[in-house]
Structure 1
């Protein structure tokens, strides 16, 4: 059947492909193509950067004796790599009447993906199905001729076969695409030459049972066709050799800590996975995952193919632990390029730096500072003007906006998180030598004050969760801001209906970073008690091992019936958090191997570590198996980085996030700061004897104050420091012998705050 245009426009609403990946692959040279494999076929292909997926999938139908099979639905395949650090996937699909072998090779020199195929079987014929989704647009134009092509604005692709196609067709998904043709007619009967302005799909019957496909990408149809044809003209074996050599050369720089053969293989694979996520158009950019969580159920322009500064730095720390200093250094340079004028970073952003979500997370400002310090510590970084300015600008932002964060590390709630506080304090201390004189002293004073107050913000004494466990207290997941009730306030849990919960009833693993960064010892009674609590409340033993929930009552995961997360759901266990618990085990002298082994066993077919694993009853209709990857993101770069860091910590007993200057300044103990810094965002109502008080704001102000019930009331103008804060300091001598400091504010334009504050002095 041939008509000018396929019927059924615009087709069904598009979705992305499954996040259940077998492997990811890219070349390390000039090519700017990244591909993922899932269910035995190529699904998302990204070009010209990791933030721009261009297709949903490229799969195959085999017509054979007795019928036809779409190989991704048959799900009977074997997967392999030549070496754990060389992402050259081979997939073998076998059924009763056919055998199809595929090798997926990003061309080393051109923006093109090559697929070598070999089909055998009685009367077997091979058909390729291609679902474009160029730049995430819902409306693409598809043309089927001697090759298969698609365009959207200034983005184009071309799929060409070295042996050619016997026939081709373009259609609209759900109505006139090739799968619908087979489903309705038992074979390929449609040959529509074009389908424009919708959710399109392309099909071609391959003329040869053995050959190579080339999928080229360019700004124009002509450019894509040129790349596809040129790539097929190149020797496949030579291209393969170049690809192999680039990865072999890169792997020579890996320094894997001593481990069992299985762990060493997993470590090399994890380093490769992280490397695959680095961009080349924007060198050093590292997206969180080349996947869209629950992608097969919805369309998402962002997914996880975005840069989160937190995930990026966590991965860069992991690269440093295995000797890849150059790679981590490029990431630091990239982060210098994406820093905002105010010193912060966007919540997440495309590799080119365009922001996506609009939140502010203080840990994502601290972590680049820590990365710079880590590279200095290993001797890879000499101070340069751009790096120095990045650090100073970030510290000024932290000073002005800390210690409370608009969002915690799970991007849900505002307040004080032990994780975020640890990052802020470490960033201040490791960067203090970028400043001199009073500014340096102020930064260290602020760090000491925030460190001493961690428990005031995040440690619940005799909280509800102590019942039955004989615990005096525990660290909570997050303490709301003072205006929201502080540690006694209410948190609205995201992703669940009616999620309002007392802050003291929610726990997570964030507090473990207090040990990991050297702010508290592993033996600290409060730490030990909270570990007992998370092991009782958040730990789950699955057929594949140990994992932990993000926090009790989490809603980010599949529904109880296995349906995909849709804004609401039930939180599932994270292998990443097994790694965090394993770090604590290593630091307190326990064996971290159960946690490492759990991370190894909770992977997909290709050894990729998922964001979450399933913890319910088996649901084969949803592909859910207890202890195995759920429908969330896979791989998760952060999780692969955590495995590498835990492997190193097992050997050295020294976490990647620990700095000598922190260990020497605090020795794991809560300090007694000489000065406490009072801000409306982080106030206090009492203070121990012998401490000074600095009353602070971001803008100039007049402080109207008195002592012991407003006696001798007077005004005092704030003084600006070199970090953008305006302060009024009361020394220990000013406060000695008094019981209270009473005060209010008048702004620079003469407006009164309209609220009185009081601090009780000399509290024991």
Structure 2
């Protein structure tokens, strides 16, 4: 019989506030998440493909009493060992105790759940399953059927199938009454809500947003199989049930225990932090795909997923997050896995030399933005492996040349900063790109190699010119001379920054209309971490004072920071989910970044490691954000504890691992050695000045050489002091996608100037604009 109420309510995912994430270390291509005491999204056969919304349980007596256990909010979790992703969940109620043990089948795309109900003998458990096959809650088909004589709850959508099988302790088919329905209309939860018991037994539902329910004995084992069809999924599920659950559990736990023996632990970590490092190592390992080796998603979660059906969520690859995670793998001694990341990045580089803002595992772009730091990070990973003599024959020269050419041609302003919002010049992005030029130069042939260093020196010398302000109202209010801004608008052709202009904040309900000079972020700390500026530099110290006053949050766990002034990426004031706007909350990740600064400044970063380790969920997962107000508008929000943002955030776990490793080394683990040798925290004073349409200058020092860096081949028409002694010269390609020409300016004295314009050789047309650079 077909259920009524098609197509069901608008589907959503579950909350991203996870308790645990896990996978098998063997061949099984399945990843699982738990939260609120039940199973949440399960991903298969790739880590970017969630196939269910959740699998929960109702306990009922058939006479009107019933409880959905995830709403009890009275459960405890146990793991066999810290850092082992197998979980026992115990739900407590005055009438019963429901015990669930969850572990994957090591070899198959099957998740096993052992169910045990104790207490009132009149009660029995019911499994409630919400398919989201193919990564969506739409157009799913659900059915109560049979496979090989066994009853199944199964579902299909396109090329994906699901089967939920059950056996009792005698290995007999365990399903009792069962039903398929449309969510919000005829699903099992609605049946219990209206009748206090399971009265509907619909055979099929769909296409639409569907759910399945089935009665179980008080002790049973479930097998959730995922495959290319429901029959294939059922075969996998039945095969997995042919072994005792305890055997699968022991094999899974033993494999993870053996894996942890290979993980490098930094010396001197207190026991609690050593346990957190084991959890963070596990999180990094779990988020690796088994099909596209080297790919890692940002999180097995959908931020505020219980309010939307976003098909992307965080189960996508961000090149920045991926390289940050690869750095943590190096810190853990997982060098082969870090190499796999580099190979994956080489394979997914775009023709222009950059990488997608984020992408599905196979390389198909999801969002369409461009962030220059994401073009630079893969170069830094190659250099980090090379520093350890661990490239193992990977050919990276072509990748590096294309990446640096992209940065040279498009920088220093980025279409988006690392927070994926405004265009402009950002200190974090600049530091990463400068590092990439220096670290990548040895792989380049001449003249590209020299030009990579020339651009690095020029950009490094101009960081303050581009991204810092002095004597503003904000500076005076905080008693400092100046500070680095969050993002500076791109420099115009006269070399002006226009920091008084409003810089839009895109995730606010109402843009506060703040000028760029009033927006401060923590991104400037990366200048110290990379070795470009000394931690005691007066401008760094002043910016630290302003950032702490505006962005720091004190919590019972320790300090955390907002990303930037006016951030709106977080829950609303009433605790409701971020919905395209909200109020940005505090990030544990930024506590780790501050710890790296403190280490560079000669202080022990232990308090920041402890803060991060105290902002975790039940099983040690580090969230993207924590609640930042002393009062809570919702019961689940508490100061310094996870919000509905992504949890775990793999980048945050990577930051914890790297900070622990940095503490052991006495310096930032990911500071490139080549960068430190070249700059040592000191701002360079290059003998050459570079002009380009994207980084123009209006002045240069007397005695400096002058290079024009143009996007196209040109004949440059130039003269001195008001077009005297006019000369024409052609540019030459510099190996990084630019066409360059040295103008004879080094002999000009202060007060003189050089004028020029360009004739484009490819189009045979004049640029139509004159340029002037004054010498001082």
Shorter-chain TM band: over 0.9
**TM-score normalised per structure 2:** 0.95
Matched, 1:222 2:231: yes
Whether the 8 Å CA contact 1:707–1:738 is kept in 2: the answer is: no
* 1:28 alignment partner, SS class: coil
For the aligned residue pairs, the C-alpha RMSD in angstroms reads: 1.5
- Map Cα deviations across residues 209-260 of structure 1 (whole Å, 9 max, x no partner): 1121000011111111100111111333332232123212321221111200
Q: In the TM superposition, what is the alpha-carbon distance from 1:334 to its structure 2 partner?
A: 1.1
Q: In the TM superposition, what is the alpha-carbon distance from 1:504 to its structure 2 partner?
A: 0.9
Whole-angstrom distance in 2 between the partners of 1:391 and 1:720 = 17
Matches within 5 A, 1:588-603: 588-603=601-616
Whole-angstrom distance in 2 between the partners of 1:622 and 1:731 = 69
For 1:133, the equivalent position in structure 2 comes to 132
Whether the 8 Å CA contact 1:583–1:646 is kept in 2: the answer is: yes
Matched, 1:149 2:154: yes
For 2:639, the equivalent position in structure 1 comes to 626
For 2:550, the equivalent position in structure 1 comes to 537
Q: In the TM superposition, what is the alpha-carbon distance from 1:390 to its structure 2 partner?
A: 1.7
Whole-angstrom distance in 1 between the partners of 2:468 and 2:637 = 37
Whole-angstrom distance in 2 between the partners of 1:215 and 1:504 = 55
For 1:376, the equivalent position in structure 2 comes to 386
Whole-angstrom distance in 2 between the partners of 1:66 and 1:618 = 38
For 1:189, the equivalent position in structure 2 comes to 199
For 1:31, the equivalent position in structure 2 comes to 28
Whole-angstrom distance in 1 between the partners of 2:384 and 2:644 = 35
Whole-angstrom distance in 1 between the partners of 2:331 and 2:498 = 38
In terms of mean alpha carbon deviation, does 564-573 or 582-591 score higher? 582-591
Q: Please, which of 239, 242, 249 is the counterpart of residue 240 of structure 1?
A: 249
For 1:124, the equivalent position in structure 2 comes to 123
- Map Cα deviations across residues 235-287 of structure 1 (whole Å, 9 max, x no partner): 33332232123212321221111200000000010010111111111111111
- Map Cα deviations across residues 604-625 of structure 1 (whole Å, 9 max, x no partner): 1111111111123544646212
For 1:573, the equivalent position in structure 2 comes to 586
Q: In the TM superposition, what is the alpha-carbon distance from 1:591 to its structure 2 partner?
A: 3.1
For 2:506, the equivalent position in structure 1 comes to 494
Q: In the TM superposition, what is the alpha-carbon distance from 1:383 to its structure 2 partner?
A: 4.1
Consecutive unaligned residues of structure 2, counting only runs of 5 or more, are 146-150, 169-173
Matches within 5 A, 1:433-448: 433-448=442-457
Matches within 5 A, 1:510-525: 510-525=523-538
Whether the 8 Å CA contact 1:479–1:489 is kept in 2: the answer is: no
Q: Please, which of 749, 755, 761 is the counterpart of residue 769 of structure 2?
A: 755
- Map Cα deviations across residues 495-549 of structure 1 (whole Å, 9 max, x no partner): 1123432111111111111110101111111111111111111101122221100
Aligned residue-pair number: 757
- Map Cα deviations across residues 573-618 of structure 1 (whole Å, 9 max, x no partner): 1111111111111111223222211111111111111111112354
Q: Please, which of 285, 295, 299 is the counterpart of residue 289 of structure 1?
A: 299
Q: Please, which of 396, 403, 408 is the counterpart of residue 394 of structure 1?
A: 403
For 2:599, the equivalent position in structure 1 comes to 586
* 1:165 alignment partner, SS class: coil
Whole-angstrom distance in 2 between the partners of 1:261 and 1:684 = 54
* 1:696 alignment partner, SS class: strand
Whole-angstrom distance in 1 between the partners of 2:632 and 2:680 = 49
- Map Cα deviations across residues 339-359 of structure 1 (whole Å, 9 max, x no partner): 111211000001121110001
Whole-angstrom distance in 1 between the partners of 2:477 and 2:629 = 27
Q: In the TM superposition, what is the alpha-carbon distance from 1:310 to its structure 2 partner?
A: 0.6
For 1:56, the equivalent position in structure 2 comes to 53
For 1:695, the equivalent position in structure 2 comes to 708
Going from structure 1 to structure 2, the CA distance change for 1:735 and 1:339 (only over 3 Å counts) comes to same
Q: In the TM superposition, what is the alpha-carbon distance from 1:737 to its structure 2 partner?
A: 7.0
Q: Please, which of 176, 184, 196 is the counterpart of residue 174 of structure 1?
A: 184
Whether the 8 Å CA contact 1:474–1:527 is kept in 2: the answer is: yes
Whether the 8 Å CA contact 2:9–2:183 is kept in 1: the answer is: yes
In terms of mean alpha carbon deviation, does 246-255 or 337-346 score higher? 246-255
- Map Cα deviations across residues 58-111 of structure 1 (whole Å, 9 max, x no partner): 000001487111010101111121111211111111111111111111111001
Whether the 8 Å CA contact 1:128–1:204 is kept in 2: the answer is: yes
Whole-angstrom distance in 2 between the partners of 1:326 and 1:89 = 28
Matches within 5 A, 1:318-329: 318-329=328-339
Matched, 1:706 2:719: yes
- Map Cα deviations across residues 628-680 of structure 1 (whole Å, 9 max, x no partner): 11111111001111111111222222112212211111111000112222111
Whether the 8 Å CA contact 2:711–2:739 is kept in 1: the answer is: yes
* 2:544 alignment partner, SS class: helix
Matches within 5 A, 1:714-725: 714-725=727-738
Matched, 1:741 2:754: yes
Consecutive unaligned residues of structure 1, counting only runs of 5 or more, are none
Q: Please, which of 232, 257, 261 is the counterpart of residue 266 of structure 2?
A: 257
Whole-angstrom distance in 1 between the partners of 2:726 and 2:500 = 33
Q: In the TM superposition, what is the alpha-carbon distance from 1:331 to its structure 2 partner?
A: 1.1
Whole-angstrom distance in 2 between the partners of 1:737 and 1:645 = 48
Whether the 8 Å CA contact 1:457–1:486 is kept in 2: the answer is: no
* 1:714 alignment partner, SS class: strand
Whole-angstrom distance in 2 between the partners of 1:102 and 1:719 = 69
Whole-angstrom distance in 1 between the partners of 2:108 and 2:177 = 27
Whole-angstrom distance in 1 between the partners of 2:470 and 2:631 = 40
Q: Please, which of 272, 279, 282 is the counterpart of residue 269 of structure 1?
A: 279
In terms of mean alpha carbon deviation, does 305-314 or 699-708 score higher? 699-708
Whole-angstrom distance in 2 between the partners of 1:738 and 1:542 = 56
Whether the 8 Å CA contact 2:353–2:405 is kept in 1: the answer is: yes
Q: In the TM superposition, what is the alpha-carbon distance from 1:714 to its structure 2 partner?
A: 2.9
* 1:500 alignment partner, SS class: coil
Matches within 5 A, 1:29-108: 29-64=26-61, 67-108=65-106
For 2:148, the equivalent position in structure 1 comes to none
Q: Please, which of 8, 12, 26 is the counterpart of residue 11 of structure 1?
A: 8
* 1:393 alignment partner, SS class: helix
Matched, 1:410 2:448: no
Whether the 8 Å CA contact 1:708–1:738 is kept in 2: the answer is: no
Q: Please, which of 633, 653, 656 is the counterpart of residue 643 of structure 1?
A: 656
Q: In the TM superposition, what is the alpha-carbon distance from 1:389 to its structure 2 partner?
A: 2.1
* 1:8 alignment partner, SS class: coil
* 1:58 alignment partner, SS class: strand
Whole-angstrom distance in 2 between the partners of 1:689 and 1:250 = 61
Whole-angstrom distance in 2 between the partners of 1:733 and 1:425 = 25
In terms of mean alpha carbon deviation, does 185-194 or 612-621 score higher? 612-621
Q: In the TM superposition, what is the alpha-carbon distance from 1:392 to its structure 2 partner?
A: 2.1
